[in-house]
Structure 1
Amino acid sequence: MVLASALADAAAGIARLDQALAGHPLAQAFLYRARLEAVRRMAAVDGQLIDPWHLAATIEGLRLRMDPYLRIIDRGEILEKARFALTLHHWLVDPDFDQEGEVQRAEAMLAMQPASLPPLIAAAQGFREWIEAGDARPAMRAAMVRFWRKRQLLRLPVPLTGAASLRSEQSWARDDWLPAFLRALAREAADGMDLLYTMERAWFEARRGIAGRRKDSHVAPAVDLLAATPVLSATTLARILGITVKSAIRILDTLVAAEIAVEVTHRSKRRLFGLKGLAPLREVVRPPYRPDPSRGRGRPRQPIEEEEAEVAPPPLPPLTPIERTEFDYTVLEEAMAHLGAVVRQARRALGMAADGGNPVESGGVEAGLERDAIND
């Protein structure tokens, strides 16, 4: 009875997500964000928990400004966690030759399950057998993403992997684990729905906030890019739009002033921005440090009253088809390929750092381009 209920919930949740994504203009942007959240979730279960801010900033190729009390070993651990998460991303999106061989072997394991089994049960049993055989998790996770499409549960490669079912406290007994795996899939599908609708509403409100600007303005494409990626640097925006970094900074500052974007402020230079209201920024944004001209040298700071924690509102309903047709999605579609390249670039940089290079320590892949262009 427990298994049947979990199976019904998972199947219904995945079906709703598939229907919502079918033909959705933000589908590719959703996949970009969903993959980052999925690898963060999987890395946490595998003992490599990384803060969403750290992951997003690392992808931008920028040096993390960490708390000064952290030891060198602690800083290295954060970078190692980012490298681990991006390696999981590599397995999901663009496996190399050896990884592809492992993924195909995992696919064969799933294909060996009895055809009479529902796809979700077949995947659960195949995953369980794979783990019991001592094989690595990333290959089977990537194989499951392909399995959902082959069995027509999903039309897009949505990264649903049931990661929470592999937590250390989860019982491995078959009667306990199979429902846990299905419940984990159902939660991931529900989180995907919330993410899609949150992106949709945030993007729609941002586009409405810039209505009336001239058609050749770069502001609207900048909003589209902010909708697609958790954080965005001026360098990335400049490269995609073909403008100077200074022009990109002016656009981003304009969006911040209009309360459409927010600045992620763990640095005073090489600044990062995100669309207002979208994770992971909701929990980590704080105002940047700026010298207070009204405060003399040595004068003590005024006490700051603690603000009550803001409770995130429930997800809004999806847009109507008429609302979706109001905007041009061309720039958003063109940007997704570049954002994928940014992830690959960050992964290579972290790999070089792990092998003894220092691209991360020196400020990241793109820091050199921004160092001279941005002054706060």
Structure 2
Amino acid sequence: MAATADGLAMAQKVETFVREVVAPFEKDPRCGEHGPADDLVQEMRALARAAGVLTPHILANGHHRPHQDVAVILRASGLSPLGPLAVNVAAPDEGNMYLLGKMASDEQKARFLEPLVSGRARSAFFMTEPASEGGAGSDPSMMLTTAVMDGNHWVINGRKAFITGLDGAGVGIIMAKTDAGATMFLVELPMEGIRIERVLDTIDSSMPGGHAVVSLENVRVPADQILGASGDGFKLAQVRLAPARLTHCMRWWGAAARAHEIASEYAVRRHAFGKQLIDHEGVGFMLAENMIDLKQAELMIDWCAAVLDTGVLGTQESSIAKVAVSEALYRVADRCVQVMGGTGVSRDTIVEQVFREIRAFRIYDGPTEVHKWSLAKAIKRETAKRIAN
């Protein structure tokens, strides 16, 4: 199986739009340290809507495209760090749309999903907690945020950290611990009791609203705003996280490919020691290694997308993809900076930002080491079983 003709056609439309319309906004002063301003996001989305490329991973009938189509579309969107935002396939919104599309009731879809699909609102996913307090990070079982029933409402208390896009978001999914276990709650934002303590200064700058530390103080959520049932939180998290790891890989593949294009053009135009820079073996070989890493990452993404479309993508496969692709794309971005020398660490091109964003990607949605540890545990179990038999 492969991407459909319709999916490939949409990917081409997205690529043309991102290269010709979105890329010029990369120098816009509204791109700040904590991400692009919301008025810039809405301006780009209006252009995407007019071009017929807004929310391209969702079909007109509301169904999610096959992930093999999503792979080519999101890779095209990632050719600019602003591309996923402009066409409405950025994290965390894309992952939240997928989760709500799969698990929300019809009433919840109308209230919480429709504003996201239409591009009118952004969203936030409240799971990670401050490490200094021993809260949930890569291990969600350590969750400290609580939800207690009071009449027909749940009352949520706790603190969250690294909540991407909260500043300016209109929809939130809060993960908290009830007597039944981890549970997800849907809320409209801003909301009484949810307070941004500060927006962290981080290495990346592509996501509007940045990454916030948040206090939840007696947040009252009506009982009908539970997603699924009380205690379903970990199960629902897996519905969201495995595909979200893969779509992260798709978007950042596009960014790395763009950086490679820029570095290759630089190496052909720049001369040193009597010849084109690319003709120096050290430079030419780095670009050749980029080509290899990009192709291997593309094949890994496409393989996982095909598996996901069968409905059997497991945590092992998504962990393998997350590690392999994030590490490969980081090597690509790092080589691009090195090939371009001083220009590579300047903001004269987008390469410097791509390097910063992909460095952060090695941590987000689970650091490389956590995924390797999980895979090592699986190897231990499977090997012990084989020995026993």
Q: Which has the higher contact order (CA 8 A, sep 6+)?
A: 1
Report the structure, 1 or 2, having the larger strand content. 2
Same fold (TM over 0.5): no
TM-score (norm 1): 0.26
TM-score (norm 2): 0.25
